[in-house]
Structure 1
């Protein structure tokens, strides 16, 4: 068995390098309990064969290795550091990636790799904390050319007399949804905007209903206290969280998904859409952004002055809900 890898390394006129790579991976997969020597031989062979093969063969090899529990650590790090189009399945499912490797890849390879790591089934608290602490940001939209006037704001058409109220309500909701979905990042006028990694973390924790991790990620995304994040989540109507998600630039479909997972009653139908869809459509992104900034200023002021007992009027307006300790009990 130990000579099989060396045999595959020998040049064969009719064997393409892609076939050699796949044969090497297949031979390695057949080893249920590889010895140290076999692991070392595979590690020595894999990299040069991988680099000499086509992208399609690389993707197939990585997909096969992503389910193998015996991949040597040097090979695992090498594969995880490949371009995301190749490394994604390995990052999302390989059992050979330990916490240190995952954190190293997330910190050094960029946002796309970190988002793939977020999709793993089981993440340790250590990795979660590392991902939450990353500061990958969206690229800003290119500025308008010098002297070029800004496009005028769209004016909502007035409904003709006699139009049914329900029809006009639906049209208004649709206009708001289109406006929110098509809103460019550069149009947020300096408001806080979620990075794609922060969005991925929030979606992941909502999907699994990990409210503690969700609150941590939300607080980090807002650069605010955990107390503020918990106060937002305490609103069981979902409106404060919806305001936060819309105000920080999250796509309408993702915001709807989060609301429906954390507040199941918002998944119930309201006409042809869910109650969460209706809620998101009713919110104005500009006003939501301003409200979120007001909450953040109030939060910062309150904790800077250590006035948790009796918040000032701005804080009272920003946090109209009672006792945040009931959060987990209410939204689970």
Structure 2
């Protein structure tokens, strides 16, 4: 059995009372939420082990309390967050599915494929949804889930999801109104709705009240503004823990393009940044800024100078913030720039940049 300074599991297993286990779960979760930003990697792993073990011993209400405490944390115990996300009780799964920055697209797609509309609705309400997750949620969800996606101005809506949403919007006023405000909805789609939707929907889209329109546009502008700031995206990830893990594993001895590509495919953005910083011999702070900004040129130059394969660059352009911030056209331009750039030119750029830094 596990024994830590936080919980004596031997004693706990012998106690028939559920109330003590429930209170321990709440206490440990509250303690971690308070101290998470100051915890070391080892401490986070201990909390992860303890909370995961307790999650199998407590009642739904205690798990739901812990999920609410842990859900918004940037530095959260990954194992228990994923365990809560898979919980059959939506009061437990809902908070982490909606709020946790720890969950990757792979995690969200796995939950979306295994659970019903309550879990799908929680995912649909996340502040940012990539196109691949939006597709899955819209395809599997009911009308309520699709309506939530349409209302979520932080969701990237591709052609597959848009087609299903438009079908619903033809007869559903709320969905049609939300699509009318969504930044990813083309004008041609609005025109299609006005031409072919039911009379109530056409009337709403053609002459919505000014107050409702202003509220919708204000929310869309707020979400769009968040997407435009590098600091917003940097704040979503725990780079320090990723760096600490990499250093413990051997740092430059284990950092490789294969590892970089693996992390990119798995959508582990903080780990991508840590490995990239080591390979490029740049500070972690510089790496995370260069890999969130919309201007991808610095990344392309370094990638060429390092001799990264085309497939690795392609995977990196779809990881972390770039899966939300870059349009397909921008990714294509970055890949074309990478292919056309001469390696010696890239290395000269890096050398000049390093000389400039030394001279400052």
TM-score normalised to structure 1 length: 0.47
Relative contact order, higher structure (CA 8 A, sep 6+): 1
Query: Which protein has the bigger helix share?
Result: 2
TM-score normalised to structure 2 length: 0.44
